[in-house]
């Protein structure tokens, strides 16, 4: 057994300030629910962040959502604005407001900025425990910023993973998924529709469909089929041309935070709206932009409460669970994927996708991702060390399979 020398295991699902990875749509949920929540409330409170964007779950959506919230605040005449959260949505909003002459304070619960981007140090290198890729690269404002700053980036070709399956050759996953998208009955709840489609397939096709759903949908959305909306099929995830930052997302985040008034270690508990303005934990302002992830919103008292239509829209969103392990070894013992990207199809699913960081960071390092109910299976009652070793074991099973293909 190859044992990692160092590791980092994320626990976003246990983190009170995130409650998971990103907001996915529950059964019945529609993109419209996300967009409704981004509408300003009485000009005093604006929700912003990845959850309220038509392309959710990504850093540049959070960034765009923050910019949009700042525009709404300025259009409403706000001059003193409190921004809750120093993730990408909060940093975007604060920068845009300051650039327009508003007085802005950012209140951040953690003792660090960046939110669900978090670059950690491991054996002298930087690796991202949260977001890693700049997705939808060609239309990604943060990618343009990374280019302007001259940051190194490495492309990942998701269409060419070095893949292995626990029980034989890897089937044509893309074809199985494309066929599913073509034939699935979108009038049914997702899980039922999947069962209906699977019933029309041969055993080999069903096997391919199972892997395709694990890899292309559940790993992206972070929720099991029974908890996902049919509309989740339309929400884009990783794509070809995405690039990661070997120096870490912190390079972007630190740049964006420059010159802003950010109070760390301030967990907001209360947002009060009245005719005279808004008060956040007693601090008065014209407007508050709240970028708290939906998984942490329940810790805040809204007075008066959010209107019924907002509460209803929120009830269609839940935090998807995606966790990461970053493993560092003495040497790279696993087969090299030309694209840097690996897929592992197991039953039940576990560490299903991997990004080999070795070339990018200059040390034998690899990051694995796990999602949805597999998180519960792998994490419950285990220490980080146990999880890291279990992930390394799955990587080894993957490697043995790849070698068996010859």
Contacts with ligand FAD, residue ranges (CB under 6 A): 10, 12, 17-18, 21-22, 49-50, 57-59, 62, 84-90, 107-110, 115-117, 130-133, 135, 267-268, 291-293, 296, 299-300, 322, 324
Token digits for 91?
């940093």
DSSP structure string for 259-325: T--EETT----EEEEETTEEEETTEEESEEEE---TTTGGGSEEESPPPHHHHHHHTTEEEE-EEEE
Q: How far is the CB of 128 from ligand FAD (least distance, A)?
A: 8
- Minimum CB–partner distance for residue 406 and ligand FAD (Å): 32
- DSSP designation for 232: G
Cβ proximity to ligand FAD: between 78 and 325 the closer is 325
Task: Tell me whether residue 171 or residue 320 sits nearer to ligand FAD (CB atom).
Answer: 320
- Smallest gap from Cβ 231 to ligand FAD, in A, equals 18
Cα torsion for 343, 345, 349, 355, to the nearest 10°?
-10
Contact at 8 Å (CB) between 260 and 106? yes
CA dihedral 279, 38, 27, 308 (to 10 degrees): 50
SS3 at position 327: strand
Of 191 and 373, nearer to ligand FAD (C-beta) is 373
Shortest gap between Cβ of 209 and ligand FAD (angstroms)? 25
Residue 213 DSSP symbol: I
- To ligand FAD, the closest distance from the beta carbon of 140 in angstroms equals 8
Q: How far is the CB of 370 from ligand FAD (least distance, A)?
A: 9
Name the β-bridge partners of 103.
Answer: 80
State which residue, 117 or 119, has the beta carbon closest to ligand FAD.
Answer: 117
d(C-alpha 372, C-alpha 44), whole Å: 35
Nearest distance from residue 167's CB to ligand FAD, in Å? 28
Q: Which is nearer to ligand FAD, 242 or 286 (CB)?
A: 242
Query: Pick from 110, 104, 113, 64: which is nearest to 86 by CA?
Result: 113
44 vs 119, which CB is nearer to ligand FAD?
119
Instruction: Give the pairing of strands 287-290 and 80-84.
Output: parallel
In the complex with ligand FAD, the residue whose CB is nearer, 208 or 300, is: 300
């Amino acid at each position: 057994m190859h044992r990692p020398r160092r590791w980092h295991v994320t626990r976003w699902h246990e983190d009170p300030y995130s409650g998971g990875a990103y907001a996915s749509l529950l059964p019945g949920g529609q993109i419209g629910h996300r967009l409704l929540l981004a509408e300003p409330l009485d000009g005093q409170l604006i929700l912003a962040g990845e959850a309220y964007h038509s392309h959710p779950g990504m850093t540049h959506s959070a960034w765009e959502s923050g910019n949009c919230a700042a525009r709404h605040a300025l259009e409403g005449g706000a001059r003193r604005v409190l921004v809750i959260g120093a993730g990408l949505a909060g940093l975007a909003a604060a920068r845009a407001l300051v650039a327009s002459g508003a007085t802005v304070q950012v209140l951040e619960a953690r003792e660090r900025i960046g939110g669900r981007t978090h670059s950690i140090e491991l054996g002298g290198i930087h690796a991202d425990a949260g977001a890693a890729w700049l997705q939808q690269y060609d239309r990604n404002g943060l990618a343009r910023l990374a280019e302007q700053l001259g940051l190194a980036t490495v492309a990942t070709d998701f269409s060419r993973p070095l893949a292995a399956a626990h029980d034989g050759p890897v089937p044509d996953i893309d074809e199985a998924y494309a066929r599913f998208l073509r034939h699935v009955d979108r009038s049914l709840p997702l899980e039922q529709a999947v069962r209906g489609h699977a019933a029309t397939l041969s055993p080999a096709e069903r096997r391919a469909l199972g892997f395709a759903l694990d890899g292309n949908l559940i790993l992206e959305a972070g929720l099991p089929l029974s908890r996902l909306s049919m509309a989740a099929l339309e929400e884009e995830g990783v794509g070809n041309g995405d690039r990661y930052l070997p120096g870490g997302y912190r390079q972007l985040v630190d740049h964006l935070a420059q010159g802003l008034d950010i109070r760390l270690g301030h967990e907001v508990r209360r947002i009060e709206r009245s005719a005279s303005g808004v008060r956040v934990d007693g601090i008065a302002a014209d407007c508050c932009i709240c970028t708290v992830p939906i998984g942490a919103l329940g810790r805040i008292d809204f007075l008066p409460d959010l209107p019924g239509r907002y509460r209803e829209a929120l009830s269609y969103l839940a935090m998807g669970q995606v966790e990461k392990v970053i493993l560092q070894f003495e040497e790279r013992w696993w087969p090299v994927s030309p694209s840097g990207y690996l897929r592992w199809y197991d039953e039940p699913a576990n560490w299903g996708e991997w990004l080999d960081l070795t070339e990018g960071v200059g040390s034998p390092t690899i990051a694995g991702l796990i999602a949805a109910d597999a998180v519960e299976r792998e994490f419950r009652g285990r220490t980080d060390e146990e999880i890291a070793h279990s992930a390394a074991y799955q990587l080894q099973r993957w490697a043995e399979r790849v070698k068996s293909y010859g």
